[in-house]
Structure 1
Amino acid sequence: MLRRARELALLPALLVLVVLGAFVNGSFLTEANIISILGSSAALAMVVLGEALVLITGKFDLSLESTVGIAPAFGALLVLPASESGFGLRWPFGLALIAILLIGAAIGAFNGFLVVRFRLNAFIVTLAMLIVLRGLLVGATQGKTLFGMPNAFFALATDTFLAVPMSVWLAAIAFLIAGYVLRHHRIGRSLYAIGGNVDAARAAGIRVDRITIGVYVAAGILASLGGLIQTGYVGAINANQGQNMIFTVFAAAVIGGISLDGGKGTMLGALTGVLLLGVVQNLLTLAQVPSFWIQAIYGAIILVALMIARLTTGKAQD
């Protein structure tokens, strides 16, 4: 119950923020603003989901923020004509979507291969990949902002069902599936076993290497979808898309109860972490707090979350 207290504590915290928001600005509790919070948090939710799965196995993936930029950017370059800074191939959106997902999967597979087969440090490997992919994105786009993609490129963020953006439905379904797998499927139990004690997991017959690489692939695909959602939300792709996003991703995961030591955390906790940060950002915007303070506040939230983790679990994080 002490471990559960860390993630369940976010629910009353969300309630407090909602009440505070109602006092800060009368438009906070309107339907339009609530949908705006959900829509703006959808891309972050997809990336947090991917990072949470990696963290549960006891690994890291810092390169997800660059995947958010480079995967949809290459998809756009395949679609756009040469006159609009594209490759001039004019691929249909369906093929470009497959390419976007494959790019995310390939990045994840490469990261997983280096970490699993070469036994390289996951933090350093993915940090290097973050830098490499960021450079590739700037080079491929020549530092320009890409416009003129077909409307289908923005559909996840612009199309709605029951007045809610499709991106929100997609994120909700992804979290439901991940939560079910982690709780009821042997693969989900294997992730916790690997993160808890990798040697014991091997001894139990779990295919540690295969599952770990698979988690990196899944995280890359989720990040590419998050990038596509972000593209639709912004309406364009610039050479800095996703930059510094990883700090917010870790903030959401950590305050949601995902352990940096591996083997602990739930999708409910990760999702509430995303919603908490979404509400915080919306409140700061409505209160007209300068945007450059937001990252500082996120950092403070991470520190508080780590202290809460220390008190609720009784275990220091290495």
Structure 2
Amino acid sequence: MENKLNSESFLEKINLFGLKSLVISGAKKDKLKNVVRIIVLDYSIWIILFGIVMILSSLTSRFLTTVNLMNILLHSSILGVVVIGESICLLSGKFDLSVGSTVGLSGALAAWLMVTGQPAASGWALHPIPAILIVLLVGIGIGLFNGFFIAKVGMNPLLTTLASMIFLRGMALIVTSGESLYNFPPSYQFLGGGTIGPVPTAVVIMLALYIIFHFILNCKKIGRHIYIVGGNPEAARACGISVEKVVMLAFMMSGFLAAVGGILLSSRLNSAQTISGSGMELDAIAASVIGGISLQGGRGILLNTIAGVLVIESIRTGLVLLDVPAFWIRCTMGFVIFLAILMDTLKVKLK
């Protein structure tokens, strides 16, 4: 009788251990599936970009030409620089609507400082290097202004940066007296219109900035703090992180990068116009979200926003090559932004 009980107990133990191993195995499989799903969601934008390129190249033979691809890269470089700053703001849990106007003012200010012999110019004829340094400092100052009132005073990011957007556009009109400034020094034109080998200088600058800020976000303390503050500001405070300081730094980075974008744009066009950068704030937010930066903050991979920028520019260029009317292009871009927001919402739910 005792032997029978022992054998039954032994069998029960084997069964329990077997079930336990099955449960553990099942849990591991579920965890693996979730990891694979998250990886696919995080990097699916590159698959989408490839699909868009294939579709557009099948619709028009002019899309995959070297000239057109270089044109897409050149247009993407300026937006890409601005997107880096916008993405950093989004990662911190905020957003910046003033980047487009900062682009316009930066180009106008640089031109005003350098150009001579034109009615709207300052006549100072500064060398491009000090002119660029002044413009970059102004961009940082704009970001500091926005960040201070949003982080320290507690003003709404939407309304604060909207007010800045309107004010800065007005400042661009004042600086240039509403006129275009042109004929910049060759060294300045090289930044946006030159090439390093076969690659446009602006593309090299964009890629260098992506590498630098990707390193900052992933390998430096301030980068980790940006993610933490964007994901859970209260938890960040509990960990001793200065949320206000982090938000202000995020906006200063955004202002700096928008100023770089303005310099590159005016350099490429060899002119500064008061309307330069108009609407770029919406393109920057769209490219960031398409690239996987969450509107809720704290989530996203900066390098993926390169694909977001390329998606926007590829669709826009492809539709132009297909002779699609301008109003339909705007409708299409609006639909793309809607899909990006929908994908962001679904990704949050799945995670």
> What's the counterpart of residue 177 of structure 1?
212
Within 2, Cα distance between the matches of 1:225 and 1:305?
A: 26
Q: Which has the larger radius of gyration?
A: 2
Within 1, Cα distance between the matches of 2:145 and 2:347?
A: 36
Per-residue deviation at 1:237?
Answer: 1.2
> What's the counterpart of residue 67 of structure 1?
102
Per-residue deviation at 1:77?
Answer: 0.6
Letter in 1 for 2:167: V
* Contact preservation (8 Å) 2:293, 2:299: yes
* Contact preservation (8 Å) 2:97, 2:161: yes
CA-to-aligned-CA distance 1:91-111 (integer Å, 9 cap, x gap): 111110111111101101111
**In the alignment, structure 1 residue 55 sits paired with structure 2 residue 90:** yes
* Contact preservation (8 Å) 2:114, 2:125: yes
Q: How does 1:1-318 map to 2 (within 5 A)?
A: 1=35, 2-81=37-116, 83-314=118-349
* Contact preservation (8 Å) 1:7, 1:255: no
Within 1, Cα distance between the matches of 2:203 and 2:42?
A: 21
Per-residue deviation at 1:183?
Answer: 2.0
* Contact preservation (8 Å) 2:107, 2:265: no
Within 2, Cα distance between the matches of 1:22 and 1:83?
A: 44
SS at match of 1:26: coil
* Contact preservation (8 Å) 2:110, 2:263: no
* Contact preservation (8 Å) 2:114, 2:127: yes
Per-residue deviation at 1:277?
Answer: 0.8
CA-to-aligned-CA distance 1:215-243 (integer Å, 9 cap, x gap): 11111110011111111232211111111
Per-residue deviation at 1:123?
Answer: 1.2
* Contact preservation (8 Å) 1:84, 1:148: no
Within 2, Cα distance between the matches of 1:84 and 1:222?
A: 29
Letter in 1 for 2:115: L
SS at match of 1:58: coil
* Contact preservation (8 Å) 1:41, 1:278: yes
Cα RMSD over matched residues? 1.7
Within 2, Cα distance between the matches of 1:227 and 1:290?
A: 28
* Contact preservation (8 Å) 1:251, 1:299: no
Letter in 2 for 1:56: L
Q: TM-score if structure 1 supplies the norm length?
A: 0.94
SS at match of 1:83: coil
Per-residue deviation at 1:315?
Answer: 7.1
- Could you list the runs of 5+ residues in structure 2 that have no partner in the other structure? 1-34
SS at match of 2:154: coil
CA-to-aligned-CA distance 1:27-73 (integer Å, 9 cap, x gap): 32222221111111111001111000001000111011100000121
CA-to-aligned-CA distance 1:158-191 (integer Å, 9 cap, x gap): 2111211111011111111222222222221111
* Contact preservation (8 Å) 1:66, 1:242: yes
Q: Which moved more, 1:89-98 or 1:227-236?
A: 227-236
Q: TM-score if structure 2 supplies the norm length?
A: 0.86
* Contact preservation (8 Å) 2:146, 2:161: yes
SS at match of 2:303: helix
* Contact preservation (8 Å) 1:51, 1:249: yes
Per-residue deviation at 1:3?
Answer: 4.2
Residues matched between the structures, number: 316
* Contact preservation (8 Å) 1:62, 1:246: yes
Percentage identity across paired residues of the two chains:
34
* Contact preservation (8 Å) 2:295, 2:344: no
Within 1, Cα distance between the matches of 2:347 and 2:95?
A: 23
* Contact preservation (8 Å) 1:6, 1:256: no
